[in-house]
Amino acid sequence: MNRAPSIGVVLPTLNCAHLLPDHLDSMQPWLDLVEQIVVVDSHSEDGSSEMLQKRLAGHPRVTFHQRPRGLYQSWNFGISQLETDFTYISTVGDSITRPGLEHLRAVATDLRADVVVSKPAFIEENGEPVQNGPRWPIDDVVEALQLGAPCLLDQWTLCLFLLENPVDAILGSSASNLYLTQLLKSRPFPTEYGTVGDGAWGFANVFHYRLAVTPTQLSTFRRHEKSYAAATYAVDELRENLFDLLVRSFESVMTANPDLNTQADRLNYSHLIKTVEQRMLWQKRLEGCRKQPVPWALNPWAWCCRRMRNSFRSQASHLRTQALRVMDATCQSTSHHLPPENSRVPR
């Protein structure tokens, strides 16, 4: 019998002892599923490290590491220690069920995906459900493609949704996802994009990974006070930097593969890029108005900015819909444009 692909868990921590008991309790039902656990603590001062060593000591393959502070630096180090097929990042406060983890692995295996994403349920710090939780790009994907089952997005469809959501990354919460370990080792998470390094990873590596989306809700995302100041990870012009990263990545692929330009022209990508760029420009102008002492609703220029922002948003949505129609809005199970060096788990 073929063995199921192995799962490794990276557990990054920093002064989160108040959340750890519940988090470790949520891990217990699936700990026997994972082959390896790598704990990366950033010199916590509240007993987090000691609690982890006590509670996880029974796992046959767990290692504990102390590393300097750095959100994605910790992730990347932990991933570098894994020897498993897949990686699950267990961020403290967020949880996944045993059937959920099994579902992600099954989808990754069956669809030969490098990344599987799902949307979590949102909860408050006390565990209560968040009323009217935020809408994420994965909601847009599920609705636009009318997904009733897991689906592998071809690279062109993935790029369409990335362009339509240049800030709210399609990867959502990594605690709701499963990644191919070798891919993350060869293409680590970028560290210069504040707290959205996983989203930036999705932009930087466009056309270099196969992404599957499952409409099934498998995990929870907890709203809670962070153990670091927001200013620590503040990035100037973050929205513009992310959009520029995506455009540069896309143009790099087009330059390296001139034959892809025909398909890009057919789907009107250049027009979509320019339209989204204009939408972001007017959004920035609107936000500038909202920072003024005078209420923005009394400012005629603010209303003009808002109207233009909405106009370009509608145009971008229309362009994406047109492109999806050109592609017949189908989910393909193969991709003809992946770089040959992109490694695979033996299935």
Q: What is the pLDDT of residues 80-93, one digit of tens each?
A: 999 999 999 999 98
Compute the distance between CA of residue 214 and CA of residue 177 in angstroms, rounded to an integer.
Answer: 10
Compute the distance between CA of residue 167 and CA of residue 252 in angstroms, rounded to an integer.
Answer: 20
For residue 114, give every residue at least 6 positions away whose Cβ sits within 8 Å of its Cβ, in sequence order, or none. 108, 179, 180, 183, 209, 210, 211, 342
Banded pLDDT at 194 (limits 50, 70, 90) = confident
Alpha helices (runs of H) in the chain, residue ranges in sequence order: 20-27, 48-56, 71-80, 98-111, 137-144, 155-164, 181-186, 197-204, 238-256, 261-266, 269-290, 300-326
Banded pLDDT at 173 (limits 50, 70, 90) = confident
Q: Which residues pair with 95 in a beta bridge?
A: 220
Average pLDDT of the chain?
88
Q: pTM of the prediction?
A: 0.88
pLDDT of residue 231: 59
Q: DSSP state, 116?
A: E
Banded pLDDT at 227 (limits 50, 70, 90) = low
pLDDT of residue 336: 35
Across 147-157, average pLDDT: 92
Across 172-193, average pLDDT: 94
Name which of 78-87, 118-127, 258-267, 297-306 the model is least confident about: 118-127
pLDDT of residue 310: 97
Q: Please report where in the chains the tokens 């990366």 appear, as a residue.
A: 40
Homologous superfamily of 7-233 in CATH? Spore Coat Polysaccharide Biosynthesis Protein SpsA; Chain A (3.90.550.10)
